Amino acid sequence: MAESIAFILNGRPAQATAKGSTPLVYVLRGEMGLMGARIGCGEGHCGSCTVIVDGKAVTSCDLPLEAVAGKSVETVEGIARDGKLHPVQQAIIDEQAGQCGYCLTGIVMRAKVLLDSNPAPTRREIATALDGHLCRCGTQPRILRAIARAATAIAAAK
C-alpha cells in the first residue's frame, strides 16, 4: 500500500507517494523526475545511484523511501548554486573526466561529501573515498585529477 512520505529534496519540501519499501532511486527518477541518480547494479555495489542523505553519501538503489522520512536528500541536480555548477561538476568538465558518464553523478556526489568534510584530501584519500564506484571507461586518473582540482578551486574561493 502506498504511503505519503515527506522529506527535504534539494533544499525544498517534498512529498512522495509510494510504498515505504520502494527504493529511493525509483522515487527520485519516477515520481520526482530527477534522472541524475542512475540505476546500475540495483544492489548498492556500483555507486551510480549515490545521493546525499543528511550529509552522508548513500546508494539510493538499496535505501527504502521510508528511511528518508523527515531527512534532507541532495541529488546531483541540486548541488549547483546561483546558476553555477558545483566545483566538482566543473572540474569533471574541465578535466574531461567523463566518457560514457554513467558513473559520474554518483562519483560527483561522493566527492562532494568528501570535500565537505576534508577540503584538502590527498590522492590516496580521494581514491579511497571512490572505492565503491565502478567506472568501466578507464577515466579514473582524470576523475582523481578533477576532484583534486575541485578541492583547489574550493580552497581558492574561501
Neighbour tally for 15: CB within 10 Å: 11
Stated pTM of the model: 0.95
Q: Which three cell numbers stand for residue 80?
A: 549547483
Predicted pLDDT of residue 125 = 98
* Amino acid present at 105: T
Q: Which three cell numbers stand for residue 126?
A: 580521494
Summarize pLDDT for 35-60 with one digit per residue, the tens. Answer: 999 999 999 999 999 999 999 999 99
Which of the following CATH numbers is that of domain 3-76: 1.10.760.10, 3.10.20.30, 1.20.1250.20, 3.40.50.11900? 3.10.20.30
Summarize pLDDT for 57-103 with one digit per residue, the tens. Answer: 999 999 999 999 999 999 999 999 999 999 999 999 999 998 888 89
Predicted pLDDT of residue 1 = 79
What are the residue ranges of CATH 1.10.150.120 in the chain?
87-157
Q: Which positions ≥6 away from 78 have C-beta within 8 Å?
A: 9, 10, 11
Helix (H, G, I), strand (E, B) or coil at 116: helix
- Cα dihedral: 100, 23, 133, 107 (round 10): 70
Strands 3-9 and 72-74: parallel
Q: Is residue 104 within a helix (H) or strand (E), and if so which, with residue range?
A: helix 104-117
Summarize pLDDT for 7-27 with one digit per residue, the tens. Answer: 999 999 999 999 999 999 999
Domain 87-157: CATH architecture, name and number where available: Orthogonal Bundle (1.10)
